[in-house]
Amino acid sequence: MLFSVTSLLSGLTPACYAVPALCVALILIMIRIAVLDHPVARSAHTRPTPKGGGIGIIGSFLLTIPWALASHPQTHTLPIAGMMAGVFFLAVVSWADDIYSFKAWYKLAAQCLAAFLVALPVTSSPFVLGIDVLLAVFMTNALNFIDGINGLCAGSIAIACFILALTGLQPEVLLLLALALLTFLPFNFPKARIFMGDVGSQSAALVMAWCAIQPHPFEPYLVLALFSGIFWDVLFTLIRRAFAGNKLMHAHRGHLYQLATRSGVPVSAVTLLYWVFTLWGAFVWSLPLPTVSLLLGIILPQALWTVFICLRARQRITTAW
């Protein structure tokens, strides 16, 4: 698998220069509107904070895609149109959920429909379509679950966008999302003036799922490798909670990244570590090694992190986890 700066630069279009300005304008509007995320028992923040920063991310991303595609007339637009439709639909539903808090099953149905819209133009058979929809729904939820501390989700996806653009996968599209996320980050990390909310995390995650299910000119599992740290955290937590008899559909503070911060690891350090996990996944997957060796190379840091945090949590967290 080759990373090419030429591939990355091919994605630079005039639209890239419009994204930051548009994103900042939308974020400032959302800060002024001040739909607040009030802290609850499982929250990492302690004071009401505006949410909806994802409207700046996704709004600037979707609005500039047509402009970017005008500079790349050779691009196949049907898959991009499907992605835009699914992302727009999920963004609308997620923003409504940020305000009104829908039931979990309603949100899952919306995610399935959005995933279907994204997967349909790039899928060759009904069976593969079903698998792609399941993968997209899993990725959407996994990246949303991880959006619990400042900068973790947004930074991880931004890094992934740049790496995927380096492989030549839709750089004219992914650079727009990367720039929108980077524009958002100073508003959220290390200190949050605004959260991106479900409208940002779920919608951006759906774009990553779209990358994962497309026919690739490179090794198709790179997307999964990039988010291996996040997927490990989510799957380990689900399995651990299932064995403990916890209700899996209930909100909690039991993810590894949450246990880390609850046990005293600085939030910024945890965020930076998960960004490193994203870079590590790309590095390992670029090595000319057998598949088993690649998997072991990716999993080893996650396993060590898990042991460290579980031991630390046993010593320092006195409440249920």
E runs forming strands in the chain = 36-37, 49-50
pLDDT at 31: 96
- Alpha-carbon distance of 225 to 232, in angstroms, equals 10
Q: Does the annotation place 198 within a ligand binding site?
A: yes
pLDDT at 2: 61
pLDDT at 221: 86
- CA 105 vs CA 111, 200, 296: distances in Å: 10, 20, 36
Task: Burial-class residue 113 by CB neighbours within 10 Å (0-12, 13-18, 19+).
Answer: middle
- Angle ∠(117,183,282) on CA atoms, nearest 5: 65
- Domain ranges for the chain, please list them: 5-316
Cβ atoms of 253 and 321 closer than 8 Å: yes
In 3-state terms, what secondary structure has residue 37? Answer: strand
Residues with Cβ within 8 Å of 121's Cβ and at least 6 positions away in sequence, in order, are 78, 79, 81, 82
- CA 82 vs CA 170, 243, 312: distances in Å: 14, 39, 45
pLDDT at 41: 59
pLDDT digits (tens, 9 = 90+) for 144-161: 999 999 999 999 999 999
Q: Does the annotation place 144 within a ligand binding site?
A: yes
pLDDT at 45: 63
For residue 196, give the amino acid letter: M
- Alpha-carbon distance of 9 to 171, in angstroms, equals 8
Which parts of the chain sit beneath pLDDT 50? none
